[in-house]
Amino acid sequence: MLKVLISSVLLLMSVYAYAGADAIQGIWETEDGGYVYIHPEGDTWVGTAVGSRDGEHRYDNENPDEELRGRRLLGVDVVTGLKYDGDDRWDDGKVYSPDNGKTYDLSAELKDQDTLKVRGYIGVSLLGRSQTWQRIDESAPHVQKEFLQ
């Protein structure tokens, strides 16, 4: 009986841990109106640009790589490498800023089901900037569904 109880508790804990890690999956609207679809890729989470609130096409005009400069941002992974750290936190990621062509370290924390606090920083989290992203539905205007996996 004790073995069954322990097995049940362990199973419930693993299901809860998976649900926690999975809670970040979805489409998030950034503070400047970009849409980022966060989804699993291997054992990490990535965020793909999938549209914008105003429907305007955005371009990667500041990319330091001349080959990539000027590309359309739709379908580009702007968030990479996020790892679930427990307690609704993801760390060890990177975020690419098309505004200046730079890549920053990234952490994210789910404040509630529809609010994600992201922090981009250089080396130490104190040297960075936070944004609050809001979850949106895939039926929102200007979501490019072909980039949803």
Decide if pLDDT at 112 tops 50: yes
pLDDT digits (tens, 9 = 90+) for 3-50: 433 443 333 343 334 459 999 999 999 999 999 999 999 999 999 999
What's the pLDDT at 13? 40
In 6-123, the DSSP E strands lie at 26-29, 34-41, 44-52, 77-86, 89-97, 102-112, 115-122
Distance in Å from the first CA to the final CA of the chain = 43
CB 84 within 8 A of CB 71: no
What's the pLDDT at 19? 58
Least confident of 1-10, 19-28, 74-83, 90-99: 1-10
pTM of the model: 0.86
Residues 6+ apart with CB under 8 A from 114: 134, 135
* Domains of the chain with CATH codes: 2-147 (2.40.128.520)
149: pLDDT confidence band, cut at 50, 70 and 90?
Answer: confident
Decide if pLDDT at 1 tops 90: no
Instruction: Please provide the average confidence, as pLDDT, over all residues in the chain.
Output: 90
The helix (H) or strand (E) run that includes residue 106 is strand 102-112
Q: What is the spatial distance between Cα 98 and Cα 69, in angstroms, rounded to a whole number? A: 10
In the chain, % of residues over pLDDT 90: 84
Q: What is the spatial distance between Cα 44 and Cα 87, in angstroms, rounded to a whole number? A: 16
CA atoms within 13 A on the CB side of 96: 22
Pairing of strands 26-29, 115-122: unpaired
The phi-psi region of residue 123 (left if phi > 0; otherwise alpha if psi is between -120 and 50; otherwise beta) is left
DSSP code at position 146: G
Least confident of 1-5, 58-62, 65-69: 1-5
73-84 mean pLDDT: 98
